[in-house]
Amino acid sequence: MKIRLLAGLLVLGMAAAGCGGATVGTPSGSAAPQPGGGSAAPGSAGTVKIAINPWVGYEASANVVAYLLKNELHYDVELPEIKEQLAWEGFETGDVDVIIENWGHPDLKKKYVEEKKVAVEAGSTGNKGVIGWYIPKWMADQYPDITDYKSLNKYAHLFKTSESGGKGQLLFGDPSYVSNEEALIKNLKLDYKVVVGGSEASLIKGAQQAQEQKKPLLFYFWDPHWLFNKTQLVRVKLPEYTEGCDADPKKVACDYPEMDLDKVVSKRFADTGGKAYELVKNFQWTNEDQNAVANDMTNNGMTGEQAAKKWLDANTAKWQAWLPK
Amino acid sequence: MTTQQRLPAPVEVTAAGTAEGAASRGGLPRWAWYAGAAALLAAAYAVFRGTGTLPHDKEAPQFLAVTELREWIDDQRDLNPVFLYFLNYVRLYVAEVHGLFQTVLNALGWPGLVGVMGGMAWLAGGWRVALLAVAGVGSFGVLGLWESSVETLALVGASVLLSLAIGVPLGVWAGLSRRVRGLVTPVLDVMQIMPTFAYLAPLVLFFHIGAPAGAIATMIYSIPPAIRITSLAIQEVSPAAVEASASLGATPAQTLFKVRLPLARPRIALAANQTVMMALSMVVIANLISAPGLGGDIIRGLSRAQVGLMLPAGVAIVVTAVVLDRMLSALARRGPRSRAGRLDLAAAGALAAAGLALTPVLPATWPQEWTVNLAAPVNEAVHWVESTWYGATTFVKDLTSHALLNPLEGLLTTAPWWLVALAVLALAWRVSGARPALTALGCLLAIALLGLWEHAMQTMTTVAVAVLVTLVLGLLLGVAAARSPRYSALQRPLLDAAQTMPAFVYLLPALALFGSTRFTAIFASVVYAVPPVARLVEDGIRAVPAPVVEAALSAGSTPGQLLWKVQLPMARRAILLAANQGIVMTLAMVVVGGLVGAGALGYDVVVGFSQRADFGMGFVAGVATVLLGVMLDRITQGADGRPSPRRRKLT
């Protein structure tokens, strides 16, 4: 009986949606409301969906932009939580209008900006992303030469763990991160093994315990990150980055380049987003700015909105420049 | 140590179990056969060690082919009729149903929702359940999680409704027709052992992200119990009643609707209950494809490394589970024909009406003053544990890793593949017979062909150790609970919570204490798998008939003798079932293990989910996990002559 009912519903719905078939990019019905200039609550200029990628620095940027969109430009803002790569799919479905902090991803840019033409680059955030190998500060104090990769082999025995099979352990994080670790170890002839933590949490907890319990740890990490405000970490020097030294992923033997983090928006939002799009495009700040907001959110118990408000109140001149003229 | 002795723990248990009762063959005693076989395998290992290993290749052609298939499907999305006329509509309908739930739940307002839930609970099980429901729903607000909780309720409601709408009719059909049953069961098996992460990526491909995709992911996981239990309920309707109805001239349809369904109703309520529990356990996973709800709070806590943020959300999920469980099991307990009394109706109606009447009067959102912020004290407590226990936990971790994990993993990864296959074949044949043994062998060979041999062996190591620990703990807790009802009453809610609490909540302190290691993964599996094992053992021992226990006592048995000589042997079947459950539950945690440093198959699945270029490897690793599960199941299933253990797990 229920099956018949369901079938009936299906037929009815198909008729209602017209017989052209449903494509996801052009939503019909209430399933996916129009983003950008679409209909929204009365008195609102529209709805903007900023994807929240799962790290706090990103959230800080998103909250600051969201606060301005809400209170200065009177938009409704949604902040759906989505992992990096999936957020790009959201451009296609209308689930995402803005990725506020993008770490490179040339492959995704090629796919969604050039081939599918559903996304558009919206300029730098002003943040510089730095990936590298880090150790807790106490190790740098105790073994001053350890911060150079050349002496890593000398200290490999310190980094041995139950997982590293007799070699030193290099702890890696979430598999979605940019990574040259395997190649670096091989090409620099280091007596180390990459142990995959699998998540950001495994890196943070490892780093916190390493500094607090005075345990050795060599791990992959990145700046900007709120952890730097709480735990003292020192970066290990790898051979300096030169243009093109990372061209062949198998032959990389140099440090990571400093990455210019940028914003990406959906094509639809770029075309119809009006003032909201202008604001997103103009948004630009520094690593210190972001770390301040992220730190308030993580360690001072503030919500994203409170932390954003605190920063905005203290930096009026900066955000005034972002507002569309 | 020899190869055979080092194979997974449950195998040892079951092998020992059957050896006891069986008669020896030929002139040699039984143990000599085992020793001989073991010595042979050990000799073969010594000779061939390091040859015929199949090391992992990240770019195996099998993986690349699947990745390419994915890209092709992706390009078809807005062109292919399958998408245009089927998949996209499915997405739209699910979105429609979810939107309906969302609108209604939000329109009720918080006083309205508290009242209506209370009223429904009163109808289901009287004032006690109603009180629990009111307190439970109220606690969402107190925890400061009202909005996410309502989102979660909407998502769970939509997925459960759709699961039942599809699952119950299918279950009835499967219950009536043996052929359908044979067709559906293996599919359900795969749906349940397949790690959720592994089908998340293909799901995104077909249904995109957002609430509808989350609801569909939840349905895949929550539909199997609905079908299984309904089918079982229909099968178990007394044949006498069916015959009587047929002989009175009822048509098959009349028999179904007037006899079978009413008689099966309590069981179908149980099916609904299990469906809800399964759906709730998907809350966090669904958030990974951007479905709203409590999962978001947990993921946020994870990225800030704060248990204080995650624990309230975890508690809210546990509370939801407890409230819904009590409501639905009260419903299941009532007889097939009973109806609510007039008084109950009035009370329930009054409660709901009171709630709804208050909605326009009270503030629209849950008042800030009525919330309790637990983040800071919880974070402090966790920090204290992390820094104080570190020494002891590191010692335990290192001991387990060096004494158990590393040697076993070394053995399995350096042994030639054919030797491992041979050992599995011999063992499964001995324990379960020829057919299961061949199936087990087939699974193992398929894993090798998929190009995931090395990682599968590593995962098998972790799973084996986890199952061993789970069994020891589960037996201890189960026996303790069976011997003292008071202790059992204390333990039950804790076990319930351990099972429904999302693993991520206790993973953070575990990560701090044990680091990113295989041991952390084992810890997570043990927390997840011990509750059902303990419960099965407890029930098994309780089920030993009282006269037997009394006879043993009057014959002068000490409590210890009673346990070892009477209760445990008589509860053997339950204990073996518990062992099998332990394996299934542990496998379900393989992927979570990949997030905390266990590597191997679990990590492959995670990689496949987060890196487009590795989609193929992730998907294939998910399939390999299923194969591993089927293999372990076949090795152990013969131990007490059960047809298939998983078919019983939900009854």
Over residues B94-122, the pLDDT tens digits come to 999 999 999 999 888 889 999 999 999 98
Partners of residue A249 in chain B, C-beta under 8 Å: none
Question: Taking all residues of chain B, what is their mean pLDDT, rounded to a whole number?
Answer: 84
Distance from CA of B375 to the nearest CA of A (A): 8
Nearest to B584 by CA among B619, B621, B641, B628: B628
Is residue B156 pLDDT above 80, yes or no?
Answer: yes
Chain B environment of A174 (Cβ under 8 Å): 610
DSSP per-residue codes, B477-502: HHHHHHH-HHHHHHHHHHHHHHHHS-
Label residue B44 left, alpha or beta by phi (over 0 means left) and psi (-120 to 50 means alpha): alpha
Q: Do A83 and B401 touch (CB under 8 A)?
A: no
Do strands A76-78 and A218-223 pair parallel, antiparallel, or not at all (unpaired)? unpaired
- Which domains are assigned to chain A? 43-127+260-320 (3.40.190.10), 129-259 (3.40.190.100)
The yes-or-no verdict on residue B15 having pLDDT over 50 is no
What average pLDDT values come out for chain A (325 residues) when binned by 10 residues?
Answer: 49 46 47 38 74 87 95 91 83 89 86 91 92 94 92 92 89 82 92 88 90 92 85 91 84 89 94 92 92 88 90 94 89
**Which pLDDT score is estimated for A177?**
75
Nearest CA in chain A to B389: A213
Other Cβ atoms within 10 Å of B150 Cβ, number:
22
- A28: chain B residues, CB-CB within 8 Å: 92
Q: CA torsion angle for B90, B94, B97, B103 (degrees, to 10)? A: -130
C-alpha B148/C-alpha B141 separation (Å) is: 10
Report the share of chain B in percent with pLDDT over 90.
25
Residues of chain B with CATH 1.10.3720.10: 110-355, 388-649
* B209 torsion bin: left (phi>0), alpha (psi -120 to 50), beta (else): beta
Residues in B touching A56 (Cβ below 8 Å): 303-304
Among the partner residues A3, A24, A204, nearest to B305 by beta-carbon distance: A204
CA B478 to chain centroid: 19
With CA atoms as reference, report the closest residue to A71 among A254, A313, A321: A313
Select the highest-mean-pLDDT range: B117-121, B248-252, B494-498, B507-511.
B117-121
Asked whether the beta carbons of B249 and B290 are under 8 A apart, the reply is no
The DSSP code for B144 is: T
**A100 vs B249, more confident:** A100
Which of B161, B511, B520, B603 best tests the A interface by mutation, with the highest count of A CBs <10 A? B511
Using DSSP's 3-state secondary structure scheme, residue A130 falls into strand
Q: Which CATH architecture has domain B388-649?
A: Orthogonal Bundle (1.10)
CA distances, B424 to each of B399, B419, B441 (Å):
28, 9, 7
Mutation for testing the B interface, residue in A103, A163, A193 having most B CBs under 10 Å? A163
- Chain A residues with CB under 8 Å of B288 CB are 83, 86
> How confident is the model at residue B273, as a pLDDT?
85
With an 8 Å Cβ cutoff, are B303 and A209 in contact? no
**Distance, first Cα to last Cα, chain B:** 39
- Please tell me the distance in Å from A325's CA to the nearest CA on chain B: 34
Q: Give the pLDDT confidence score for residue A22 in this predicted structure.
A: 62
The whole-number pLDDT of residue B1 equals 32
Q: Do A84 and B85 touch (CB under 8 A)?
A: no
Concatenated DSSP letters of B288-346: TTT--SHHHHHHHHHHTT-HHHHHHHHHHHHHHHHHHHHHHHHHHHS-TT----HHHHH
The amino acid that residue B155 corresponds to is L
Contact flag A198-B508 (C-beta cutoff 8 Å):
no
Q: Return the CA Rg of chain A.
A: 23
End-to-end CA distance of chain A: 61
Q: What is the DSSP letter of A224?
A: S
Give the lowest-confidence range in A247-261, B68-82, B167-181. B68-82
pLDDT-based confidence at B18, cuts 50/70/90?
very low
- Comparing CB atoms, the residue among B165, B401, B613 nearest residue A2 is B165
pLDDT at residue B600 greater than cutoff 50: yes
Give the global pTM. Answer: 0.82
Domain B110-355 classified CATH 3.40.50.300?
Answer: no
User: Which residues of A are less than 8 Å from B92 in CB distance?
Assistant: 13, 17, 22, 28-29, 31
Looking at per-residue pLDDT, the higher value among A208 and B342 belongs to A208
pLDDT for position A35: 39
Distance CA(A44)–CA(B58), nearest Å, equals: 50
